[in-house]
Amino acid sequence: MKESEFIDQNKNKWIDYEKIITQSENDPDELSDVFIQVTDDLSHSRSHYPNRSVRVYLNDLASKIFDKLGKRKRLDFQVIKDFYTIEVPQLMYLARREMIISFLVFILSMGIGIYSSIKNPEFASVVLGESYVAMTKANIENGDAMAVYTGGSGIEGFLMILENNARIDIMMLGLGLFFSFGAIWVLVRNGIMVGVFQYFFVQHGGFKDSILTIWLHGTIEISTIGLMGGVALLAGKGLLFPGNYTRYQSWRLSAGNAGKLLLMVLPFTFVAAVIEGFVTRMTGMPDAIKGIFILLNLALVVIYFFVYPAMMHRRHGTNPHHEKLRKDHPPKVISDKEIKTTSQIITDSFTTYKMQFGRNITLCLIAGLIYPVLLYFNFDRYFLFHSTPAMEWLNNIFSVTRSSSLGNTGLPETTDYRLFTGLYFALWTILIFAVNALHAFKFKLRIKHLPQYLLVVAILGLASYLRFYLSPGFPLAYLTSYGSMIAIALAVTLLLTVHYYTGSQQTIMTLILGKVFHFLILWLAVSVLLFFVQMLVHSGLTELSIYVLNDLLPFEANQKEKIAIGAQICLYMTVVMATIPFYMYTTYYMVLSLVEKYEAIHLKKEVEEIVANA
């Protein structure tokens, strides 16, 4: 390339770079990108035009950008001020949902701790330790309930508290980076502990002293724990919900945001430690001053973490870094006109499931809640003996089981019960299919196609029977889900021939009936994914959670046992129903891909349009 051509090709870009350099404020990431582009051009000019003026010009431009980057790296007071007054509040607003969820989990956990203490007076000894409980009881009897805060030196207490709280903050962030579950556990654990601790003073007559003393530092300390829970949820959100980014890009972005918010939480953790180490120990302070101090701390938390971020969002809009990433990663448009691999089909199915998640989970949860109620009032013997232990499904993979839709109960099934369960599963399968046909596939149902719709209903009834009701025993029980997928594929194909491939109905149906092997590969891939979903939902932790919640309910033992059984059935039914949309989406995209691969309908249309316009 000649030098003049090189200059003409890039001069507009270099002029834009000069304008960026002259700006008083620059995005460091943007400057870095510009620097990389200029140094690339400079390297080209050194190789091809070493003695020409363009090399000198680009060298000077690169030097200016480098100097600008060096100045941006200097950490001055203005940078710190902007970080805490603009960038952090913008991130707080971005993470507002996670913060609300975190606080709700923490408050609910406090309620569990309080309720557990009411039901079991000895629960405080289990959570707080017998020695601490005995010491606090003695302090209350001596008329100084808050004596625990007056012992030792202030600096020693400050350092110990700071180390403990900072460790919890960092641990929550670390646990939250991977799927958020560990952070939720820390939230629940600390929430229960706070609830038990506070109610302990209510039980023993130290309520007023505890409120006016503990919450001197507790207002900020407990708020930071709740905030860190939200930060941890934000950190793990990148892995769980990547959105338009790759999973790694999303995780890196969410982890970076969480790290910045940690820098926001740590100063408040420091302030809480200062208050607990030097202010809370002044138990003889007048109650009015304590109350005012607590209210001021509460106002600080509410304003800085909730009110101020909303103000900054209205004033400055979205965080510039996020706005740039949003523009660089536009929403993914799922194509229905291309040939897809199995991994692409599953990825697009996940994307569709996410878009329709609220509608689907509502339907599945309603189905899960109604089923145990109907079972209890109409078929109580099957309800009481319904077996859904946490790991039974895993054990059945390695051992031959008897033929029974109720697991290992061995109850003979009546005709009424078989009819009830078959119709129930079929009804919800058809309903979920119809809702997704309207909203996910955007089909407009018409009366003139009623015969085809009735055939679809019959096919879905067969799919329901194969997937959710027929239990021929191991290993055939797992093959019935493949038959269910084929039936769903036929139902989807039939709808497509009515609403999408209107001119090639017989051809499309013949094609799909001849490609059963392709659906076998898809079924194997989907089965692996659903295996891990089942492993998560039917884990021992889930069963433990059901029984812990059951233990807290204020009912008789036999009533609580029925509630526990009903909860297990509800969870099982909800998850089973939630697999229906995913089967639908995968078969839908598989059918579209196969049609395009073997019939090239859209490609032929594009060629015809090109020829017509030529």
Q: Mean pLDDT of all residues in the chain?
A: 77
Is the pLDDT assigned to residue 10 strictly greater than 70? yes
Instruction: Return the amino acid letter for 48.
Output: H
436-445: average pLDDT: 89
pLDDT in the model for residue 280 = 78
Percent of the chain with pLDDT over 90: 8
pLDDT given at position 434? 94
Query: In the prediction, which pLDDT does 395 show?
Result: 39
Confidence band for 540, pLDDT divided at 50, 70 and 90: low
pLDDT at 310: 87
One domain for residues 164 and 310:
yes
Residue 457 lies inside a defined structural domain of this protein: yes
The average pLDDT across 550-554 equals 62
* Total count of domains within the chain: 3
Contact 473, 401 (CB under 8 A): yes
Average pLDDT over residues 468-495: 74
Q: Do 181 and 37 sit in the same domain of this protein?
A: no
Across the range 23-38, mean pLDDT stands at 70
In this structure, are 67 and 88 located in the same domain? no
**Is there a single domain that holds both residue 312 and residue 347?**
no
Q: What is the pLDDT of residue 324?
A: 52
pLDDT class of 500 with cuts at 50, 70, 90: confident
Position 45 in a domain = yes
Task: Using CA atoms of 79, 85, 86, 91 in order, give the dihedral in degrees to the nearest 10.
Answer: 110
Query: Could you report the per-residue pLDDT of 233-280, keeping only the tens digit for each?
Result: 888 777 777 666 666 667 777 777 888 888 888 888 888 888 888 887
Q: Is 286 helix (H, G, I), strand (E, B) or coil?
A: coil
From the number of C-beta atoms within 10 Å of its C-beta (0-12, 13-18, 19+), residue 592 rates as buried
Whether 507 has a pLDDT exceeding 80, the answer reads yes
Identify the residue with better confidence: 9 or 303: 303
- The 8-class DSSP code of residue 470 comes to -
Q: Flag whether the pTM goes above 0.85.
A: no
Q: How many CB atoms lie within 10 A of CB 369?
A: 14
pLDDT at 450: 92
Question: What number of other Cβ atoms are within 10 A of residue 171's Cβ?
Answer: 15
Q: Are 144 and 201 in contact (CB under 8 A)?
A: no
- Do 273 and 378 fall within a single domain? no
pLDDT of residue 95: 83
- In angstroms, rounded to a whole number, what is the distance separating the alpha carbons of residues 336 and 141? 75
* Residue 336, in any domain of the structure: no
Return all residues near 204 (Cβ < 8 A) that are at least 6 apart. 136, 137, 140, 145
Task: Answer with the one of 36, 59, 74 that is the final residue of a domain.
Answer: 74
Helices 516-537 and 342-355 pack at an angle, to 10 degrees, of 50
Q: How confident is the model at residue 585 (pLDDT cuts 50, 70, 90)?
A: very high
* 294 and 353 housed in the same domain: no
* pLDDT score of 263: 82
Asked if pLDDT for residue 114 goes beyond 80, the answer is yes
CA angle 578, 584, 588 (to 5 degrees): 155
Are residues 428 and 298 part of one domain?
A: no
Q: How confident is the model over 364-420, as pLDDT tens digits?
A: 999 999 998 898 888 877 776 654 433 343 334 333 333 333 344 455 667 788 888
**pLDDT score at 295:** 92
Q: Looking at residue 388, what is its pLDDT? A: 41
Dihedral of alpha carbons 330, 332, 336, 338, sign? positive
Q: Which domain holds residue 462?
A: 342-613
Instruction: Of 4-13, 71-80, 592-601, give the lowest mean pLDDT range.
Output: 71-80
Q: Are 577 and 432 in contact (CB under 8 A)?
A: yes
Q: Following DSSP, what letter does each residue of 66-101 receive, concatenated?
A: HHHHHHHTS--HHHHHHIIIIIHHHHHHHTHHHHHH
Does residue 337 belong to any structural domain of this protein? no
Domain presence at residue 147: no
Looking at the structure, tell me whether residues 164 and 285 fall in a common domain.
yes
- pLDDT mean over 439-468: 88
SS3 205: coil
What pLDDT score does 431 carry?
A: 95
Using CA atoms, how far apart are residues 109 and 186, in angstroms rounded to an integer? Answer: 11
Confidence of residue 437 (pLDDT cuts 50, 70, 90): very high
In the prediction, which pLDDT does 243 show?
Answer: 64
Residue 497 has pLDDT above 80, yes or no: yes
Q: Is the domain of 66 the same as that of 129?
A: no
Mean pLDDT for the stretch of residues 161-182? 74
Give residue-wise pLDDT tens across range 291-326: 898 899 899 988 988 888 888 888 876 665 555 555
Q: Which two tokens stand for residue 549?
A: 């919640």
Tokens 């009819």 belong to residue? 419
Residue 526 to residue 10: CA distance in whole angstroms:
50
Whether residue 52 has pLDDT greater than 80? no
| Range in 32-46, 212-226, 275-289, 408-422 the model is least confident about | 408-422
Last residue of a domain, one of 256, 289, 323: 323
Over residues 124-160, the pLDDT tens digits come to 887 888 887 888 788 777 776 666 666 666 677 777 7
Range scoring the smallest mean pLDDT among 2-6, 81-85, 553-557: 553-557
447 and 590 in a single domain? The answer is yes
Last residue of a domain, one of 294, 323, 352: 323
Average pLDDT over residues 326-350: 76
* pLDDT average, residue stretch 20-44: 72
Q: Among all chains, which residue has been given the structure tokens 């100063």?
A: 267
One domain, residues 56 and 123 = no
Q: Is residue 146 part of a domain?
A: no
Which phi and psi angles does 80 have, rounded to 5°? -65, -45
Residue (of 55, 53, 52) closest to 42 by Cα position: 55
Is 170 found in the same domain as 129?
A: yes
Q: Would residue 148 count as lying in a domain?
A: no
Phi/psi region, residue 151 (left: phi>0; alpha: psi -120 to 50; beta: rest), is: beta
Domain assignment of residue 332, yes or no: no
